[in-house]
Structure 1
Amino acid sequence: MSVSASKENILKKIRQALSHPVPVPFPQSEGNSSVFQPPVDDMAVQFAQEFTKLQGKFVFCADEKDMAEQLLQLAAARKWDKVVCREQKLQQIFKQLNIPINFHDNLSDSDASFTTCELLVSRTGTMVLSTGNESGRTTSVYAPVHVCIAYTSQMVYDLKDALQALREKYGNQLPSFISFATGPSRTADIEKTLVVGVHGPKEVFVFLIEG
């Protein structure tokens, strides 16, 4: 049998099979429903659990004043003298609350960086960051410690919910850069030994504000 005849024979069998499809044996197993069940507990609790599993550090704050005071205590304990914060909204919060943190401009020799985020994904403990915020691409990556400040209203359950929320917010004008960051940077490429802080910050904090 020639190659062309063999090919035609195979295609004929495929066409016959498609014209007489076999019923799915377990129809209820097919569909678009997620394999992950909706969260039972508060999504903030789930996020904290997943985030800390991956060496992230989570702080819950009752309000913005509580957040600012806890951040000031952390900065004093860690002796952070060079803190980068490029977002006017965050700077304004500290200014209004008379929280004495002196912000630094140079990321290359900074102690920590403060940013907001787009969303938090509770199922995976993930921060969604983008260039839609004033911090841009580098603020959350170059400093040795990244502090993300978010609100419970920014919480979504799954990655698909995050993508849908971004589409609804930006429409066809999505930011040029969207990052899904889960805990501090890590790699095990070298001799399968886990090393933290190779491609980004060694420590990541999330200060979650009720609201």
Structure 2
Amino acid sequence: MNFFKNLFNSPKPKEKKETSIDFKNLPLDQIFVEKFIDKNGKFLYCTSLQEVTVNLENIAKENSWNSIVCTDNDLVKLVKALNINITDNFDDSTPVFVGCEHLIAENGSILFSSNQLKEHKISNLSENFIVYATTSQLVKSKGESLTGIKSRYQGNIPSNISAIKDYNPGSKSEDFMNYGNTNSKNLYLLLFEDL
């Protein structure tokens, strides 16, 4: 009888203590970065376009990428300095170098539209993304990002608005609200200081 009593009254394993961060008092960029990194995003802060190019080259070398998908003419200029083949045909295996609409601080996600991804669904694209964004694209919430899109593109709102919320493609979400969401990507963020 003592054996069962000890078995059922045994102490429970201690749970990991999460460090509590007071996000109310942090600047917007720091909130975003904390949440982005917590979701396994890879973050590189850049203060010049030369730094963006160097970081892009290092990412390509680290992953042995010989080609990259890039459809943005301004971003193509950054890639042309490197020894990487550039294509404008999205597929499920070639890494994507793309801009974004907004960086959402409340959950560390990145919002895209048809201006970046054309008609392609995020889930049908490569597992590997490199995103170029500026600090002026940081917003507090999803609502603020959608309001920003509405005001920026008055009368011509882009379609295919979607977000990448998880940066660990191998992870399984237990959140019921994310059931079937396959937008997880191995994502590098090149954040350029423009303010």
Given that residues 58 and 205 in structure 1 are in contact (C-alpha distance below 8 angstroms), is that contact kept between their aligned partners in structure 2?
yes
Give the alignment partner of residue 118 of structure 2, picking from 136, 153, 157. Answer: 136
Given that residues 43 and 157 in structure 1 are in contact (C-alpha distance below 8 angstroms), is that contact kept between their aligned partners in structure 2?
yes
Give the alignment partner of residue 127 of structure 1, picking from 95, 110, 119. Answer: 110
Distance 1:207 1:77, change over 3 A: same
Give the alignment partner of residue 60 of structure 1, picking from 45, 50, 56. Answer: 45
Distance 1:188 1:182, change over 3 A: closer
Given that residues 61 and 207 in structure 1 are in contact (C-alpha distance below 8 angstroms), is that contact kept between their aligned partners in structure 2?
yes
RMSD, aligned α-carbons:
2.9
Give the alignment partner of residue 84 of structure 1, picking from 69, 83, 91. Answer: 69
Between Structure 1 and Structure 2, how many residues are aligned? 168
SS at match of 1:59: strand
* Alignment-derived partner of residue 135 in structure 2: 152
Unmatched segments (≥5 aa) in structure 2: 1-21
State the TM-score, normalizing by the size of structure 2.
Answer: 0.74
Report the identity percentage. Answer: 24
SS at match of 2:77: helix
Greater radius of gyration (CA):
1
Task: Report the CA distance between 1:99 and its aligned residue.
Answer: 2.9
Separation (CA, whole Å) in 2 of partners of 1:140 and 1:59: 22
* Alignment-derived partner of residue 167 in structure 1: 150
Does 1:179 pair with 2:162? yes
Separation (CA, whole Å) in 2 of partners of 1:200 and 1:123: 18
Given that residues 119 and 127 in structure 1 are in contact (C-alpha distance below 8 angstroms), is that contact kept between their aligned partners in structure 2?
yes
Separation (CA, whole Å) in 2 of partners of 1:169 and 1:202: 27
Given that residues 96 and 128 in structure 2 are in contact (C-alpha distance below 8 angstroms), is that contact kept between their aligned partners in structure 1?
yes
